[in-house]
Amino acid sequence: MDITSPAFWVAVVQIIAIDIVLGGDNAVVIALASRRLPEAQRKLAIFWGVFGAIALRVVLIFFALQLLQIPYLKIVGAILLFWIGLKLMAPQEEGGHEIDASSNLFGAVKTIIVADAVMSLDNVIAIAGAAKDSIGLVVFGLLVSVPIIVYGSKLVLMLMDRFPLVIVGGAALLGWIAGDMFVHDLVVKEWMLANAAWLKYGAPIAGAVLVVAIGKFMIARKAPAKQEDVMVAPVDLAGSQDAKKD
């Protein structure tokens, strides 16, 4: 992809946005893994941990780009990406990170790299979809976005907590890329161009709208259930007390 083309920079912005929205957990892992180290070693652990994590992610995305050239795999990737978008919109539960802090530099770096690899499936699929088969675009986008995640993680997490629209926008972006991936699978692409060229733009829009609409519906369904749990608890408690008196 030509660096002077608008499509290149649109894809770069998408990759950066994906990493910022999906990279909050990775930033937390980095902080947890290096918290027991002295200040000087902590900085080294963050640097080498992030360096290793970027290198490993580039390798994973390279293989993902190759695999997405196989018929039907972009369809599978699109479905996974759609599910990741819905998961992003779901309320997050507390206490989801169980990362052991290391007391030595090597241990902290290893923890950061391994944890990032385990947690990066969503990033890999999303970035592979946004990269349009260009590994150079992947590397450029990661080099820009990962430092933002690491050194601006507190700001990113604060924005995501205070402004829910950031999460909704991220989920919509994943839905957009999912729709685009679906119609660019080798099995679908030729048929689309011959019979329904409008799907080139319609499918990404539909994917974005569907993720947000279904996500909002799921949130709305969960809210009444939580309210019922809160209201039922005192009634059950009162009933148990009456039973004891009898």
The model's pLDDT over 154-183, given as tens digits with 9 standing for 90+, comes to: 566 566 667 778 788 888 888 898 898 899
DSSP per-residue codes, 15-52: HHHHHHHH-HHHHHHHHHHTTTS-HHHHHHHHHHHHHH
Burial class (CB in 10 A: 0-12, 13-18, 19+), 83: middle
Burial class (CB in 10 A: 0-12, 13-18, 19+), 28: middle
pLDDT higher than 70, residue 12: yes
Nearest to 72 by CA among 186, 153, 163: 186
| Cα-based distances in Å from 194 to 42, 74, 176 | 56, 19, 22
pLDDT tier for residue 213 given thresholds of 50, 70 and 90: very high
Rounded CA separation 245/155 (Å): 54
- Predicted pLDDT of residue 237: 45
pLDDT tier for residue 184 given thresholds of 50, 70 and 90: confident
- Predicted pLDDT of residue 103: 65
Structure tokens at 239: 């009933």
Rounded CA separation 182/193 (Å): 13
The model's pLDDT over 123-143, given as tens digits with 9 standing for 90+, comes to: 788 888 888 777 887 777 777
The model's pLDDT over 71-96, given as tens digits with 9 standing for 90+, comes to: 888 888 888 888 888 887 776 554 44
Mean pLDDT for 1-18 is: 77
Put simply, whether the predicted model's pTM sits higher than 0.85 gets the answer no
- Predicted pLDDT of residue 246: 52
Q: Among 17-21, 40-44, 223-227, where is mean pLDDT lowest?
A: 223-227
